[in-house]
Structure 1
């Protein structure tokens, strides 16, 4: 369970309050199409979900706040987007602000 504290990140390569880059993936094609930035606020491990191919998987999710550069389709206005300033992201989609060892590494 996320606690919004340093304890959430005890076994993570990120820290509570750290500013990170977010690799944004296309929802249909899956490829990375851009980056945004956010601040790590909470972390939840072993979150179960069903993948597109029907297999059961788990991921670690990080709640990011103060997000800049992320927009998603507007729910009520076709062809419009709305800025998102906080959301859950898979931890593997996050990168250190500068010089991350995983830069250039693909993720699923």
Structure 2
């Protein structure tokens, strides 16, 4: 599956549940929430969590949780990019162009 196909599926899924109509400003709050969940997943993975309400997780469970949270962040970015009519591939090209331009003169390749 590619990003565009997933984005199309995701928009359809969100529209069916009346989740798509939220403004990008509100969606930014959802993205922030998801980034916090990535932070928590990485903390659990790297240093653990010593909280009585959190069950102990195995390494595969920690990895699965991190994948889930990273996917949630990606989904929020894909929804916002669709709301601004920016294709996912444009995001990838913009990222590469920015980094190549920024580090071109440093001799790093």
- TM-score range with shorter-chain normalisation? under 0.3
Which has a greater percent of helix? 2
Bigger relative contact order, structure 1 or 2, given CA contacts below 8 A and separation 6+?
2
Which has a greater percent of strand? 1
